[in-house]
Amino acid sequence: MSQQNIKMINLAHDIAKKKFGKTFPNPTVGCVIAKNSKIISKAVTNKSGRPHAEEIALAKAGHKAQGASMYVTLEPCFHSSKDGSCTDQILRSGIKEIFISAADPDVRTNYKSIKKLKKNNVIVNVGLEKNRTFNLNKFFFISVLKKKPFTKVKIATSSDEKIAWHDYKSKWISNKSSREYAHKLRSMSQAILTTSKTIIKDDPRLTIRLKKTLEQHIPVIIIDNNLKIPMKSKLLKNISKKRIIIFTSKKNKKSENLIKLGCEIIFCKLNKNKKLNLKNIFNKIYSLKISDILVEAGGILLRQLLNNNLVDEIHLFKSKMIIGKQGKPAIVGKKFSELNLNLIERKKFKDDIYTNYQVN
C-alpha cells in the first residue's frame, strides 16, 4: 500500500476523531476524496449522525468526484436514506476506487456495500488502518455485537478504594485536574446512568462543564426502584433543556408529576429479589437508540453491573487520600484487584492516578 494512501486514510481518521461524541447514536466516520494526490473534499459525519460523511464529501466534490478515489473509515451504508444509500451515491458519482478501513457490523450494511461496489467495477480496498476505526468507535462495534449499550464506569476513589466517608460528607476525592478530565469523559458519552441514591446523597447536576461559561446537558438515565428522587433535585431544574429517563416500579402520583415535569418514566416489574432487572433495563436503553453510557453511581450498583456482565470499561481515578475501614467501598464486597481487567491507559493528574481498564 502506498504511503499516499496511508496518509489519506489517516487524514480521514484524524478529522473523525475531532468530532467524536457529536454524532451519537451513529459512529463518527471520516471521509476524504482525492485525485492525483490532491484533496478534492473531506467530511465527517454530521451532528446526530446525519448526513453521513460520504454524502457530505460527495456533495462538496460535485462533478470532480468522477474518476477520483475515496478514503472512508467505515463501510458506506447500504440501507436507504433521503438521497439513497451512501453506496448508491458513490456509484452515481463516478468514484473509481475506494479505501475502507473497516466493514460495518450493522447487519443492514455488513459487507453488502463492499460487494455491491465491487460488482459495479469500483476498485475496493478493505482493512487499511482498521484498528483506528475500531478504537475510535469502540462503542458502536461492541454495542452492535452485544445488543446493549457500551458501558463505561467512571469512579473516583481514595488510595484504599473508598468513594466516601461513612456519613457521605466528603465532597471531592479526586483533584481538579481529574475532575476536568471526568467532564471530558462525559462529553465523549451519549448518556449518563446513575441512581436515585446518588442523587439523594450528592445532588449532582450531571452536566458537561469543559468551559467555565458553558454548561452542556447530556441525557441522564436514573434507576429508581421506589421513585425516591427528590422533586427539588438540581437535576430536575430547567428540565425543558434536558432529557431525563427514569426506570422505576412505582406508578403513582409522583410518577405522574414527574411525567408532567418532562421526565420519561419507564415502568418495570420487580424480579424475585424485589429489584429491577438490570439486563432488561439495558435492553430497553439500547432500544431507545442509546448505545454509549457513562455510569456515575455508588459501589452497590457497580457490583450489580459487574455481576450481570454489563460493564465494558472502567475509568478509575485514585487519589492519595486514605479514608479507612468505615468508608463506603468503591465496589461492595470486592476490590479492583479481584476483577479480570486489561489495562488500556494509565496517566497522572498531579497526585491522582488515572487508569482506564477493559473489563473481560
Cis preceding linkage at 105, omega within 30: no
How far are the Cα atoms of 154, 156, 174, 203, 271 from residue 234, in angstroms, in the given order? 20, 21, 22, 6, 30
The angle at the Cα of 150, spanning 43 to 263, to the nearest 5 degrees, equals 95
For residue 36, give every residue at least 6 positions away whose Cβ sits within 8 Å of its Cβ, in sequence order, or none.
Answer: none
| C-alpha cell read off for 193 | 446512568
User: One of 54, 55, 161, 296 is an active-site residue; which one?
Assistant: 54
C-alpha–C-alpha distance, residues 293 and 305, integer Å:
13
The DSSP H or E segment spanning 209 is strand 208-211
Q: Do β-strands 162-164 and 328-329 pair in parallel, antiparallel, or remain unpaired?
A: antiparallel
For residue 325, give every residue at least 6 positions away whose Cβ sits within 8 Å of its Cβ, in sequence order, or none.
Answer: none
238 within 8 A of 260, measured Cβ to Cβ: no
C-alpha–C-alpha distance, residues 330 and 305, integer Å:
13
| C-alpha cell read off for 259 | 411525567
How far are the Cα atoms of 186, 283, 334 from residue 152, in angstroms, in the given order? 10, 16, 18
54 given a catalytic annotation? yes
How far are the Cα atoms of 21, 188, 323, 356 from residue 185, in angstroms, in the given order? 10, 5, 26, 11
C-alpha–C-alpha distance, residues 53 and 58, integer Å:
9
How far are the Cα atoms of 3, 37, 101, 138, 183 from residue 8, in angstroms, in the given order? 9, 9, 11, 22, 32
* Residues designated as active site: 54
